[in-house]
Amino acid sequence: MSNTVLERITQNAIRANKHILLPEAHDLRVLQAARKITDLRYARVSVLGDESAVNQLARDNGVDLAGVTVRNHMTDPRRGELVDRLYEKRKAKGMTPADADTMLADVVYYGGQLVGAGHADGMVVGSICPTADTVRSALFGVGTTPGIKTLSACSIMNTIIPEVGVDGSVIFADTGVLPEPTVEQLADIAVAAAAACQALLGVEPCVAMLSFSTKGSAYSPAVQKVIDATKLAQQRRPDLNIDGELQLDAAIIPDIGSRKAKGSSVAGRANTLVFPDLSCGNIAYKLVERLGRATALGPLLMGCAKPINDLSRGCSVEDIVLITAITAVS
């Protein structure tokens, strides 16, 4: 990320003083990150696990957990409340109280319930568990933002072209969750990506709905889906600056945008790019990262009623620290 964007996020995190859960305390990287986050004051941190085992792991590796709350999810006095909460939310799907109790033996799902019940402001998880568990924990624990039915993901791409986005930083979405979004889901992604742009880049969102066509230059059912999703997103949120369908060059290069999409308030100055499906989004962010020498942060979950973010299982301590700061300002 650019230094400007990074500084904005971390300074806002310090001011926010949020309580963020890092449930996977049996991962040394998580404990090391908890120490750094606490020292940097990006958040107040709690970790989940057996206190004696967590403290022993920390001692064995020279990690001081002063100021970090260690909570045993199996003996937590709020456990009964959270088991009941999960059961009530999922009983219509066939979940029994025993099923809920078993699920909450997993720190990932317990953490999601803590956030959903208001006992923490957000959660960062995934250094050990797969993304599917992070997503289900978010859905079962906090649900989706009012007005949005879709969980999706964005990546902050810090490119080497400072004229693009905010000092070169651009939001890409969806880069991690929905393989083939419907029109309604694509509209949800656009609205959620706009919110991510506002929160993370600190500017008015200019959301481009991308396609291989610009304003009718080509046609296929795939193009029509983007056109329909653009109209739906605009209807739902007329206050947001969303336009499409746009090709990538028309979205980010001013002179091309003015030629191909005359009169568009987004063309040529987009800072948020919404891809028509996950194949396009995932390939695009990895292509820009690997061949375009950009740095990628994410994918970050979007559409959660409260912020829950996923980590790569290959994440570094610094990745956990920075994503915790992002979670604190999301």
173 with 274, same domain? yes
pTM over 0.85: yes
* Residue 156 and residue 293 share a domain: yes
Q: Same domain for 310 and 292? A: no
As a whole number, the mean pLDDT across the chain is 94
Q: Same domain, yes or no, for 111 and 221?
A: no
pLDDT digits (tens, 9 = 90+) for 149-177: 999 999 999 999 999 999 999 999 999 89
**Is residue 282 domain-shared with residue 322, that is, in the same domain?**
no
Q: Which residues of 84-101 are buried (b: 16+ CB within 10 A; e: fewer)?
A: ebbbebbeeeebeeebbb
Using the predicted structure, report yes or no on whether residue 1 has a pLDDT greater than 70.
no
Highest-confidence segment of 143-157, 163-177, 179-193, 283-297: 179-193
Q: What is the mean pLDDT of residues 262-287?
A: 95
> CATH no. for residue 24?
3.40.50.10950
Asked if residue 41 and residue 24 are part of one domain, the reply reads yes
Token pair listed for 279: 């194949």
What's the pLDDT score for residue 253?
Answer: 95
Same domain, 162 and 85: no
216 and 173 assigned to the same domain? yes
Residue 261 has pLDDT above 60, yes or no: yes
What CATH number is attached to the domain comprising 238?
A: 3.40.50.10750
Same domain, 121 and 198: no
| Whether residue 177 is found in the same domain as residue 205 | yes
Q: Which domain does 256 fall in, by range?
A: 152-298
**Residue 232, pLDDT score:** 98
- Please count the structural domains in the chain: 2
Residues 74 and 203 in one domain: no
Q: Helix 131-141 vs helix 79-90: angle between axes, to the nearest 10 degrees?
A: 90
Q: Residues for the chain: how many in total? A: 330
Q: Residue 185: what residue type?
A: Q
